[in-house]
Amino acid sequence: MDPHRSETDRRMTRALVLLAALALGAMAAPRLAGAQAAGPVLAQGVRAYDDLEFDNAAGLLRRALTFQGADALAPADAARALMYLAATELLRDRRDTARAVARRLVLSNPRFRPDELVFPPQVLSLFEEVRRATPAVIGRAPADTAIRPGAEALEVRLYASTFHDVAATLATEDGRVVRTLYTGPIADSLDLHWNGFDATGTTPPPTGRYVIAVNSLDRQRRVVRILRLPLEVTQGRVDTLPHPAPPADSLLLPERQSMGPGLRAFAPAALAGVAVVVLPSVVASGEDASGARFVVGGTVTIAGIVAFLSHHPGRPIPGNAAHNRTLRDAWRREDAEVARRNVERARGMLGIRTGAPVLLTPEAP
């Protein structure tokens, strides 16, 4: 074996290993740098702003805002970056740019308010001016919920950038209004309720995709912003309760004195009276019985009539009527409650999933 050849091969191998290591390092470096860049770049931008290096700060802050996906700034940091950028542009005497950045900030987060201890008055004043001139709302709703139409409601909390009028509707995806939810002013926030019914007020809309659209209006009643909150509505299964049976006759008491007891009291007397009159001809046929027997027969019959009347046939029995009324009222209440619950059940549970809200601006900013 040639010793020079071996030495050359060893050097060649080292060089290849070194090149491979450099190539791998070069491939890995951008990912590492990108993953850690947004936060540090924002921090560098803020430091540059604090050091009054506004040009450098503007570059760094814009660069921090360009990161996308997993590397992007968190919403709170993004708002912070925009606020520093707006301040930077204002302090660089780029007022229009500062206003545009502030407007972007208001639209992305209508609830944002700058820290008065951090930013100078002219920056705060600019932001306030832009905020007031940029009516917009953002909405928050439970991501996945279920309501019983009529008894419960979906609650959407709206936050406004400034006091303005809004018109909120539930609409199909193609824009057909299903139900108007609210029309009127909004100050800081507003709770929007949808009880699960369509415009009829009694029927839930069919299963499908819908959207809660909140139009922000300017003073000329023009739509300047539209918040669209997608909804996916699913109707639940119908399962009704059986109606309660009316009170059984065995539980009800007679509300009027029946004829029965009176007749049962009268019958023996009548029988005895008739016997007094009739039996002589049966027992002693051929004899003329004394008319005095009618005294006894009449007395017995009169006693029977008195007994019959003493039972007050047909007379109302208030206690029994009250007892029956209590039973019937309880049954009616229970029946009405079942009917009410069945109406609710017939409406079924309404499953609602909300998507990510989208803020649209119909006119050019």
Partner 1 sequence: MTRALVLICAALLCAPSLDAQSRWNVSFGLGGGSEIARSRVDTVRERVSGLVLSGEAVATRGRIVARLRYGQGRVTNDTAGRDVAEGEALLGYKARPWLTVWFGPHARTFVVPGQSDRRWLLWSGRLTARGTLFPERVESFVELWQGVTGSLNRPSASASGGGAEAGLVLRLARRPVWGRLAYRIEQGRVSGGGRRETVEAITLTVGFVPLR
Q: Which is nearer to partner 1, 70 or 282 (CB)?
A: 282
Alpha-carbon distance of 284 to 308, in angstroms, equals: 32
In the block, tokens 């029927």 appear at: 203
Bridge-based pairing state of the strands 223-235 and 358-360: antiparallel
| Residue found by looking up tokens 């119909």 in the block | 362
- When the beta carbons of 34 and 298 are compared against partner 1, the nearer one is 298
Q: C-beta of 303: minimal distance to partner 1 in Å?
A: 6
Tokens standing for 30? Answer: 């951008």
Beta carbon of residue 266, minimum distance to partner 1 (angstroms, whole number)? 8
Both tokens of 92, joined, read 């660089």
For the bound state, the minimum distance from the C-beta of residue 315 to partner 1, rounded and expressed in Å, comes to 17
* C-alpha torsion angle, residues 305, 307, 308, 312 (rounded to 10): 130
Least separation in angstroms between residue 318's CB and partner 1 is 23
Of 135, 354, 129, 76, give the one whose Cα is nearest residue 234. 354
The least distance separating partner 1 from the CB of residue 306, rounded to whole angstroms, comes to: 8
Token digits of residue 109: 């987060």
Name the residue nearer to partner 1 (CB basis): 223 or 305: 305
Task: Please identify, using beta-carbon distances, which residue of 274 and 322 lies nearer to partner 1.
Answer: 274
CB of 305 to partner 1, least distance (A): 10
Q: How many angstroms separate the CA atoms of 6 and 3, rounded?
A: 5
Q: Residue 199 or 306: which CB sits closer to partner 1?
A: 306
User: CB-wise, 246 or 268, nearer to partner 1?
Assistant: 268
- The amino acid that residue 195 corresponds to is N
β-strand pairing of 350-354 with 223-235: antiparallel
Closest separation in Å from C-beta 295 to partner 1: 7
| Residues in touch with partner 1 (CB under 8 A) | 265-269, 271-273, 275-276, 279-280, 282-284, 286-287, 289-290, 292-293, 295-297, 299-300, 303-304, 306-307, 310
Nearer to partner 1, 105 or 269 (CB): 269
DSSP 20: H
Residue 333 neighbours by CB distance under 10 Å: 11
Cβ contact 185:165 at 8 Å: yes
